[in-house]
Structure 1
Amino acid sequence: MRSEVLTVRTGNRAAVVDITDEVAAFVRELGDGLVHVFVPHATAGVAIIETGAGSDDDLLTALEHVLPADNRWQHRHGSPGHGRDHVLPAFVAPYASLPVLNGRIALGTWQSICLVDTNGDNPTRQVRLSFLAG
């Protein structure tokens, strides 16, 4: 299995960061298999969504509606509403596995691989990419 860590800057506010190009570069010469994208953080996730047409902003709006950043959360360290960040991975899983055919990720036309981070307290994230040959 081949594996490497990608460092992604998400900034100090909620963000959806498209990492498709980085994942595509990782698998480019690897043939057929599966690529696993994993975020080893308790407050971030991985989503397969359309970007650039407003869907990334819509996702953040939906998450804010379902998981508001207020003081209702029992987990209270960090910035106000930080408890919701720890609930995020139950809604946006911290991983995704995707098929790779001839060194290309088998995504649909409008699909992108995105890091979802609602936690502005940690502006830099790690993403582990692992490839299992088929």
Structure 2
Amino acid sequence: MDSVELTVRTGSALVTDLTAQVTDFCRSKGDGLVHVFVPHATAGVAVMETGSGSEPDLADAIDRVLPREDVYRHRHGSLGHGRDHVLPAFVAPSMTVPVLGGRPALGTWQSVVLVDSNGDNPTRRVRLSFLPG
């Protein structure tokens, strides 16, 4: 298995596109699986369309389901930080994508994204692992 850890600066962005980094990592690896893992308690990864308004739609959906208000038992950090700790139950911290001919087998409009609502930590680690098949 080949594995690498990326450092990703998210700043205040909820969604950070990782597709280019995943594609670069898979280049010339042949067929197999790429696993994407975020080793953080307040972030997840997803496959979604980007650049079409989906990012603000996701932000609105997260705000409806997990409001930023101070309604959580987990209360350290900035206002609503408790929701950041609940987010990975809705947006999983890992995913696996098939790789064919050294390219992630994503659909036409699919992107691999980091979803991170925790503005207190603008730098994230992302582990990419390739399992040949």
What TM-score do the two structures reach when normalised by structure 1? 0.97
Q: Name the aligned partner's letter for residue 120 of structure 1.
A: G
Summarize deviations over 1:31-83 as a string: whole Å, max 9, x none: 00000000000000001000000011111110011001111000000001000
Tell me what 1:69 maps to.
68
Alpha-carbon shift at residue 95 of structure 1 (Å)? 0.7
- 1:57 and 1:37 map into 2 onto residues whose CA distance is 23
Runs of 4+ aligned residues of structure 1 deviating over 2 Å after TM superposition are: none
Tell me what 1:4 maps to.
4
Q: Name the aligned partner's letter for residue 42 of structure 2.
A: T
Q: Does 1:59 align with 2:58?
A: yes
Give the total of aligned pairs.
133
Q: Does 1:28 align with 2:27?
A: yes
Which structure 1 residue ranges, 5 or more long, are not aligned? none
Aligned-pair identity (%):
68
Query: 1:1-134 maps to which residues of 2 (within 5 A)?
Result: 1-11=1-11, 13-134=12-133
Alpha-carbon shift at residue 14 of structure 1 (Å)? 4.6
In structure 1, the residue corresponding to 2:128 is in which secondary structure?
strand
Which structure 2 residue ranges, 5 or more long, are not aligned? none
Alpha-carbon shift at residue 89 of structure 1 (Å)? 0.3
In structure 1, the residue corresponding to 2:64 is in which secondary structure?
helix
Alpha-carbon shift at residue 15 of structure 1 (Å)? 1.4
Q: Name the aligned partner's letter for residue 8 of structure 1.
A: V
What TM-score do the two structures reach when normalised by structure 2? 0.98
